[in-house]
Chain A
Amino acid sequence: MQAVLDIFDIYLLEAVINGILLGGVLALLALGLNLIFGVIDVTWICYAELVMIGMYAMYFMVQYYGFSYFIAAPLTILLVAILGALLHYLVIAPLLTAPPINQLLATGGVLFVLQSFATVAFGIDFRNLGIRLPVLAFGDMNFSYARLLSFLAALVGMVAVYLFMTRTFTGTAIRAISQDRQIMALMGVDTKRIYLITSAIGGGLAGLAACLLVLQYDVHPFVGLSFGPITFLICVLGGLGNFIGGFIAAFVFAEIISLGGLFSDLEWGYVLAFAFFIVMMFIRPAGLLARRR
């Protein structure tokens, strides 16, 4: 085994694998945002802030109330799913026919409300779960157990959404609605209900992401800023609303960050990823998988 591994530059291989692990979580984040955009045609600017609220929920349930991680996680997913549905019901639904800029401003407003709420309610301290997961050594490479777990859970979450979208009547309606809104009533579909369900699923995905991110990162009121922008870039790079494009773009981005980080600092990985994004916007402005005209 060691002989096989020696062929590769061990650090390079480690970075590639870490990139894949990071890509899984980024793909999960992108899926939630893409789902909302693709189906309801609005952009939740405050998407990452829903994740932040979820991370706080995990922190309080585990640290304060002593829940086990595996009980707190489904509760958090449920809580953020309800938040997503509420966001739709209270903010998006009244603005559904409004100009897109108004919808952006409204969800942007929710972003600041959630950030300020977290600041006032929880303070600006960095908090963590206090769960230290072991590091997995494989050959000369080290992998964080938390990352591995997150990757697998993200994958399970995405497969679950895929099965729901392709196997169930409601899932099929969610895919159909973006192709022809007007005739959904002829199918006996209540579009309002489908939008609410879609928003709850989008929120649930943010909740799942929160459960996974809280294993690796401290939570504070502005934690959304560290992965909100990158989630948007991934969605745009993949083509907004394009699930498969978003999935691929997430791994492309993760590899750039991870490999870029290998050759210098991790921060340079992000710079490279953003530079790549700008270049791609000139080459393929409609996204990676857009058809050439």
Chain B
Amino acid sequence: MLELRGVNAGYGTFQALFDVDLDVKAGEAVGVIGPNGAGKTTLMRVISGLIRPSRGSIAMEGVDVLATPAHQIVSLGIAHVPENRRLFPQLSVDDNLKMGAFMKEARGRYAERLEVVFDLFPRLKERRHQMAGTMSGGEQQMCAIGRALMSNPKLLLLDEPSAGLAPVVVQQVFELVKRIRASGLTVLIVEQNVQQVLRVVDRAYLIEAGTIRSSGTSAEMLASDTVKEAYLGV
């Protein structure tokens, strides 16, 4: 479904990604793990068009993502839940979700998508008129994921969904990811919470200093010595 080949990207003179190859097949859940500053967030931003790579190619179902204007990439079926959620704090939950359905294709199915999201997150329905910025971290994360789901995406990019949340809430977020997966959505998830994420995904990539160091199934990654030593603390 998603295909990255030889992607190089950075900010100004600082290069954050070096020749990254990455594949996500339809129906899969894929994790990207690695330390802080390894380029995980940059990888997500490159896919959704927030920054453009200096070299390489990105294709979504055969369509050249780099030839698509940034604001039309969501129409290709890619929805990005950004790092730190990035809700519109002074808009209501309803309005935040409305923004997720902004593009033409999604507007027609707005009511239907709203039902799907409220089904998944009954809490959001209770809070629909509340300002998004006044909710708890967990609720905000729900709202951010809900907003992304409003566009009826094929591929969901989740950037550190557990960051800054209490341990109990982190559990809930990963439960949610499982449920979203079960609904048939393809998921690419970036996480520092290695142990948790490897239980949710089928495969994972380990990224360090902007380079893919290794990849494999969750079981392989859990068993791998590099991952064990560096991230699982065993």
Contacts and interface: CB of A to CB of B under 8 A. Distances in A.
B134 interface: no
B102 A189 contact: yes
A182 B75 contact: no
A30 interface: no
Contacts of A172: 91, 95, 98-99, 102
Chain A contact residues: over half helix, strand or loop, or mixed?
A: helix
B102 A169 contact: yes
Contacts, number: 63
A283 interface: no
Nearest to B79: A186
A179 B90 contact: yes
Nearest to A170: B102
A182 B84 CA distance: 13
For A173, A186, A190, A191, which residue has the most chain B Cβ atoms within 10 angstroms? A186
Nearest to A177: B88
A184 B79 CA distance: 12
A173 B98 CA distance: 9
A134 interface: no
Contact of B91 (A175, A190, A191): A175
B107 interface: yes
A146 B62 CA distance: 63
A194 to B, nearest CB: 10
Given A183-B82, A186-B74, A169 B91 contact: no
A145 B148 CA distance: 52
Nearest to B70: A185
B55 interface: no
B74 A188 contact: yes
A160 B193 CA distance: 49
A9 interface: no
Given A179-B91, A180-B88, A186 B82 contact: yes
Contacts of A182: 50
A176 interface: yes
Given A172-B98, A176-B95, A179-B89, A184 B107 contact: no
Interface string B67-79: 0011111110001
B113 interface: no
B228 interface: no
Contacts of B95: 172, 175-176
Contacts of B73: 185
A191 B100 CA distance: 15
A3 interface: no
A187 interface: yes
Given A169-B107, A182-B50, A187 B99 contact: yes
Interface of A: 169, 172-173, 175-176, 179-180, 182-191
Given A169-B102, A180-B86, A187-B103, 6 more contacts: A175-B91, A176-B91, A176-B95, A179-B91, A183-B50, A185-B74
30 contacts: A169-B98, A169-B101, A172-B95, A175-B88, A175-B91, A175-B95, A176-B88, A176-B91, A176-B95, A176-B99, A179-B90, A180-B86, A182-B50, A183-B50, A185-B48, A185-B71, A186-B48, A186-B74, A186-B80, A187-B71, A187-B74, A187-B100, A187-B103, A188-B71, A188-B102, A188-B106, A189-B71, A189-B99, A190-B71, A191-B71
